[in-house]
Amino acid sequence: MAKHLILGHEGEDIAARYLEEHGYTVLDRNWRSGHKELDLIVKKDSVLVFVEVKTRTSTDYGDPWSFVDDKKIRRTVNAADAYIRYNRTDMDVRFDIVSISIEDGDFKIEHIKEAFFPPLE
């Protein structure tokens, strides 16, 4: 497996543990529908949370969360819509980012709640 894919999976493992430790229930990981993909789908209270996980080994070019651009937001929202339709879910929805920096075996986690909202298009 490519090094960046291994890093991505490691970041998702860290993010899932972090969220569970903070009272979230992990419902799905790496959910796919065609070309649509969601990193983590979690639930807390009555809110369904779609989590984009960004992991980097360096912050030299910016924090990991800063790599979630408009295109990624649109893709995530489209995938979330597919997930909701497929699972016939009727819950409040939120989009979060878990940003993970891994350097020298240590990691820093930043959980950004309500990181973005669906674009009005």
pLDDT band for position 16 (cuts 50, 70, 90): very high
pLDDT band for position 119 (cuts 50, 70, 90): confident
Q: How far apart are CA 53 and CA 11, in angstroms?
A: 7
Domains of the chain listed by start with CATH number = 3-112 (3.40.1350.10)
Distances (CA, A) of 8 to 20, 83, 104, 118: 18, 21, 16, 24
Q: Taking 70 as the threshold, does the pLDDT of residue 7 lie above it?
A: no
Tokens 């009555």 belong to 46
Give the per-residue pLDDT at 6: 56
pLDDT tens by residue, 38-84: 999 999 999 999 999 998 887 777 787 888 999 999 999 999 999 99
